[in-house]
Homo-oligomer: A and B are copies of this chain.
Amino acid sequence: MSSDRLTEDFNAAKPAALARVVSIVENHRDGFEQILGSLHSRTGRARRIGLTGPPGAGKSTITALLVKNFRDQGLKVGVIAVDPTSPFTGGALLGDRVRMENVALDPGVFIRSMATRGSLGGLAAATREVADVLDAFGFDILLIETVGVGQSELDVARTADSTVLVLVPESGDSIQTLKAGVMEVADIFVVNKADRPGADRLRNDVELMLGLRKGVSFGNMPAHHGVDLKRVNPARAAREAAATTDPKAWTPPVLSAVATKQEGIAEIVAALDRHFAYLQRSGTLRARRRERLRERVMDVVERKVSDRLWKDSRTVAWLDEQLPSVEEGTATPFAVADMLLRQSAELVRGEQRT
């Protein structure tokens, strides 16, 4: 199929074209940047909702129920599962099972697993790109499910407009077992399996932690890509800090659910709607989406540099020649890196080497 024909079919919302485009983008096949570029102007309409939490917290069950709820509202839903323990990705399900078959057979639902992707290009960058494809195709809601343990997974959670953190009383220690930073990313907390012992204590722990957190604003979030906003753009940093220390700013609710009994799902949807309204009202949605675009460009820049350097056989061969002296300790990785960059300006610019 020609690339024009593929774009045409994609724009006509043909499901086969969607699957094809996602696959090209996900695997960085030839032409993926052109395709992403051509659909870029159609992105920015979907609401991106992240679900994260420790393995066994019931994220997938909640995801399936959220899909059903949004479908009942007539919304089209895309699911991106970046969690190896998710049944969406063929993994084991540690909690009780909600039947996924209905969800999977509904044409208004598209499910994509990214659990088996390698590190090539970065998981967060790849997730953002697949999300862009689904957004451009016309899905109204994107649910991004990720396990809240690893660093890359935390970066994925950061790509959403709203992030739901699912916790369970079983692991009363579950707050501590989460990757540092996961708590800070959450806009909505859900204590799942809330009919089990320890649920109240967990709720208390979370609320205590949220009390401590007050006053920590968006402007204090860890810098991405090493960019300190306050330094490079003080005006914007101040604007964002003002938006988030506003007394009407968002206070994350701590909800209860028993997903296996389908209890608490409507409350999660209502909280998501309230959060989205807050994001729009406060200007935070616009700020987050602009930040996401900035991340997108920076990701593309870094990937282009890596591709241009490491797919050049002369550069790789040159590096290979230097390794024995690095091994012997007569050269250091830093000196070799400096030399490599001094001679690679044309490559980085995207030109042929002279």
Contact = CB atoms under 8 A, between A and B. Distances in A.
A233 B307 CA distance: 17
A16 interface: no
A102 interface: no
Q: Within the oligomer, what is the number of copies of this chain?
A: 2
Given A179-B84, A310-B226, A341 B36 contact: no
A348 B337 contact: no
Contacts of A300: 333-334, 336-337
A232 B176 CA distance: 45
Contact of A84 (B149, B289, B305): B149
A12 interface: no
Contacts of A346: 345
What interface size band does chain A fall in? 35 or more
B305 A92 contact: no
A101 interface: no
B317 A232 contact: yes
A348 B350 contact: no
A332 interface: yes
Contact of A338 (B42, B327, B350): B350
28 contacts: A36-B332, A43-B329, A54-B55, A55-B149, A84-B176, A94-B177, A117-B151, A119-B154, A119-B155, A150-B153, A226-B310, A227-B316, A232-B313, A236-B320, A293-B333, A294-B320, A294-B323, A296-B326, A297-B323, A297-B336, A300-B336, A300-B337, A301-B337, A302-B306, A304-B338, A305-B305, A344-B348, A348-B348
Interface of A: 33, 36-37, 40-44, 54-55, 84-85, 90-92, 94, 115-121, 123, 147, 149-155, 171, 173, 176-181, 222-223, 225-227, 231-233, 236, 289-290, 293-294, 296-298, 300-302, 304-307, 309-311, 313, 316-317, 319-320, 322-323, 326-327, 329-330, 332-338, 340-342, 344-346, 348-350
Given A300-B334, A300-B337, 11 more contacts: A44-B327, A55-B177, A84-B149, A92-B177, A152-B152, A290-B323, A294-B320, A297-B319, A298-B319, A302-B305, A341-B348
